[in-house]
Amino acid sequence: MKKLFGTDGIRGVANEYPMTAEIAMGVGQAIAHLSLRKGHTPRIIIGKDTRASGDMFEEAIANGICSLGADAISMGVIPTPAVAFLTRSTRADAGIVISASHNPSQDNGIKIFNNEGFKLSDKKEHQIEELILSGNSQALFPTVDRTGKLLRMDDAGGRYIDFLKASFPRNLNPEGTKIVLDCSHGATYKVAPAVFSELGCSVTTLFNQPDGKNINLNCGSQHPEKLAAEVLRQNADAGFAFDGDGDRVICVDEKGNILTGDRILAICAALLKKENKLLNNLVVRTVMSNVGLTIAFQKLGIDSVLTDVGDRYVLEEMQKRGAVIGGEDSGHIIFMQHHTTGDGLITALQVLAAMKKEAQPLSQMAAIMKVFPQMLINLEVKKKPKIESVPEIMAAIKEVEEKLGDKGRVLVRYSGTQNMCRVMVEGPTREETEKYCRQIAAVAQNILA
């Protein structure tokens, strides 16, 4: 059976398998089927980002939900973490997000949250795959005596904005703080400026004119350079770049320096420890974390554990070990005291709160961590054999690792959402890092492309 789910839901080019209207309808049917119980009409929330294909998938999913007698509740364009929050706060049975996150506009995807606002386990995703791909939908999804209704939640954005503002400490006053926001022409284009403005910040907003095709296009968390330039031009205190669905953020300090997720983790974890709020003295991070974060945590006396790439794996480890903060260098940061999933806006607000609590500019706070030079090369691949089973790639990795010693590291892995192999090298100097990364990438491309 061909898998539908990757590391973050189903994802692919819109109108190509697996991102077809038929699969989307099957997702709606499967979620409704699993939510059915006697005397209960399931309610399933649907949100989407600004991609042109979102309408098609929303209708298909809603049709699947309603065909099984459940009600579909459309929230329109709204960030992914808003769906998680509203699923839980309205006691809905599940939440479905139509988004391909930071991917280009031609892609789309489907993410699913359970009734508690958490992403689904591998076991539950496998169950949904079996239902969709069984080839016997008539038997699995029999005719019901009623069809569901398609409802709309017109105040979804307002509810989410109130939730976000409540995460910012009431004893802090950010009034007059100059903030620049890059909304990536995505799902945060309305709520992000509203949140910071309502808290009293002076807000400049970039890339907030979505047209269905410009989401993530040379902007957002993947391309924060224009944000950095605007922060300098505005003489702003900080800038925040969100991705297309708003579950990750990249920061820019007042000097125009770009701060990725690792530095955000270091800043926020250090403050939590100082306030005696870092439960179990623990931070969860991924194998993609920079070596500099390891050194920073050692100096701070903070324990940390590594997981595979993917915020769902970070969350699982946080729940298992009782951690309150965890995240990825990509900008997915989870604050368990505030939310059940990564939320770019929650993260941005916590960074702003840290600046106010410490009464320090963001650049000074970011100095807590020295970033080792890192290079990442993404290779488009036609096949994905286990890296460990390819002698040539393993030999190239071993050669570089021996040259780096304890002054760097190598990580070669496949993307869980795209047909890509990611080659990452960290080293003591930019020149060595780039040289070794290209060396391994050339071998990998020759075999996998």
Q: Which residues are catalytic?
A: 101
| Radius of gyration (C-alpha) of the chain in whole angstroms | 22
Residue type (1 letter), 127:
Q
With a CB cutoff of 8 Å and minimum separation 6, the contacts of 136 are: none
Sort 138 into a burial class: Cβ within 10 Å, 0-12 / 13-18 / 19+.
exposed
Q: How far apart are CA 264 and CA 238, in angstroms?
A: 13
CB of 249 closer than 8 Å to CB of 241: yes
CA distance 261 to 264: 5
Backbone angles phi, psi at 362, to 5 degrees: -60, -35
Where would I find the H helices in 73-199?
80-89, 122-133, 137-140, 156-166, 191-198
One-letter amino acid identity for 339?
A: H
Among 217, 327, 216, 322, which residue's Cα sits nearest to residue 277?
322
Q: What is the DSSP string of 191-209?
A: HHHHHHHHTT-EEEEES--
Q: Which residue in 332, 328, 414, 433 sits closest to 373, CA to CA?
A: 433
Distance CA 330, CA 7 (A): 14
On the question of a cis peptide bond just before residue 385, with omega within 30 degrees of 0, the verdict is no
